[in-house]
Each structure stands twice: as structure tokens, then as C-alpha cells.
């Protein structure tokens, strides 16, 4: 099956709104066979944290207690979004890459990122050493297997969190911009999309708006903003 690669317009939103949009991209998007990608910003200082993390630990690790703090629908650790480049990618269940091992999909997507950065002579590579402690902590403090790191250095540049459902595979990713300060971001954005589309043998299409109803987005934003969701652990 041939797949379209739908690229959303750039946007800035609150942490709860961004999590709601990413989740709706996975669960409510039509056509269901389309690959979906968006790069987005944050309208306020924000941190997100993994689905399984405890709120008490998260609060002890954030640097700005006034920032927004929202639990993601994916796993992973605490992510500081005050100086990062954030994206979400959804691979539909009908695509072979969504049905493979999650760690291999993770590797493939991050290899696309490495290739896009290498086009600008940024010396990066995949981390091939799995840490001994796999407990989710603070995202950029340690490199997980197949994260993006500087060449011959332990410094982590990019990581991501994942969720798989019957609808497909969601990857919420973050690049720490200060470590690649010479990167031309518009060029990287275009190159990354091209690399991903090539990997998934898909045709890029730029869309103007998502396909779900506004009240669905509002209701889900309220859920991600609620104490019931964020303080569930």
C-alpha cells in the first residue's frame, strides 16, 4: 500500500494543547492510512514527563517551578521544552514500520535525523550503547540506545518517547538546540521530512488543518490539563 505523508502547519500551543493534538493525530486522524508529522513550539515555558513517572520525582527535577508541567501519553523521561525543537510523528498501523519492533522503528527514525543533520556537516551519530539503568529520568542527562549523540562524545542531542496503539505508532521527539547551534533549522526540517518520506516510501503532502472536531481537541486538552491525569502517580 502506498502511503501519503501529511505534514501539519507549524504551531505554538500550551503543553496540554500540544499533548492533545499529538494524541488525536494517533487516534482520530483521517485518512487513517496517512503518515502524520508536525513540528511545534510552546506558547509558555513547559516541561513534559513520561506516562509512568511519579509526579513527586518530576517536580524534584525541573528547573522552573512556574513552568507548565504535563504528563505525556508516551513513555520516557522529563523533557525541558524551553530550548528544544519538538516534533511528533505518527506511523499508521497499516505501514510495515509501525508493526515492527518499536526499538527498530526508533532507530530508523533517528537515523533519518542523523542523515538530515549530516547534510549540514553536523557530526552526529546513533548511540549504540544501552545504559545499564533504563529507569526514565531526565531526558538529556543520559543517552538511551539509538538516541542521537555528538560524534565520539556522550552528549545527547535528541531522544523520543513512543506509544503504540491499534491505530499506529506515535513518536514524540525532542532535539536540544544548544548542542547543534550552527544548524539551519528550516533546512533541517525539510531534509528530515524528506529522509522520513524516503524511508517510508511515501509522498509528502502539506495539509492546512487536522481532520478531527474542535470539541474533541478541547475535551482532550482539558484532560491533559487535569490533576486526575497529571497526578495519577
**pLDDT the model gives residue 175:** 97
pLDDT tens digits in sequence order for the chain, 233 residues long: 578 999 999 999 999 999 999 999 999 999 999 999 999 999 999 999 999 999 989 998 888 889 999 999 999 999 999 999 999 999 999 999 998 899 999 999 999 999 999 999 999 999 998 776 556 555 566 789 999 999 877 789 999 999 999 999 999 999 999 999 999 999 999 999 999 999 999 999 999 988 899 999 999 999 999 999 999 87
Distance separating alpha carbons of residues 218 and 79, to the nearest angstrom = 24
Domains of the chain by range and CATH? 3-230 (3.30.930.10)
**pLDDT the model gives residue 117:** 98
Count other C-beta atoms under 10 Å from residue 154's C-beta.
10
- Any idea what DSSP says for residue 197? H
Amino acid at each position: 500500500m502506498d502511503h501519503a505523508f501529511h505534514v501539519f502547519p507549524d504551531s505554538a500551543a500550551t503543553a496540554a494543547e500540544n499533548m492533545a493534538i499529538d494524541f488525536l493525530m494517533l487516534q482520530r486522524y483521517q485518512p487513517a492510512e496517512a503518515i502524520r508529522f508536525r513540528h511545534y513550539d510552546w506558547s509558555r515555558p513547559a516541561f513534559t514527563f513520561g506516562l509512568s513517572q511519579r509526579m513527586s520525582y518530576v517536580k524534584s527535577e525541573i528547573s522552573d517551578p512556574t513552568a507548565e508541567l504535563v504528563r505525556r501519553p508516551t513513555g520516557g523521561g522529563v523533557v525541558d521544552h524551553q530550548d528544544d525543537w519538538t516534533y511528533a510523528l505518527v506511523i499508521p498501523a497499516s505501514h510495515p514500520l509501525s508493526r515492527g519492533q518499536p526499538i527498530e522503528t526508533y532507530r530508523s527514525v533517528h537515523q533519518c535525523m542523523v542523515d538530515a543533520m549530516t547534510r549540514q556537516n553536523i557530526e552526529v551519530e546513533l548511540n549504540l550503547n544501552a545504559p545499564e539503568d533504563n529507569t526514565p529520568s531526565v531526558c538529556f542527562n543520559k543517552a538511551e540506545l539509538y538516541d542521537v549523540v555528538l560524534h565520539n562524545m556522550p552528549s545527547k542531542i535528541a531522544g523520543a518517547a513512543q506509544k503504540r496503539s491499534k491505530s499506529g505508532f506515535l513518536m514524540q521527539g525532542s532535539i536540544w538546540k544548544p548542542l547543534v547551534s550552527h544548524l539551519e533549522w528550516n533546512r533541517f526540517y525539510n531534509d528530515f521530512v524528506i529522509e522520513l518520506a524516503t524511508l517510508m516510501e511515501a509522498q509528502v503532502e502539506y495539509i492546512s488543518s487536522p481532520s478531527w472536531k474542535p470539541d474533541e481537541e478541547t475535551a482532550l486538552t482539558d484532560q491533559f490539563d487535569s490533576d486526575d491525569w497529571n497526578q495519577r502517580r
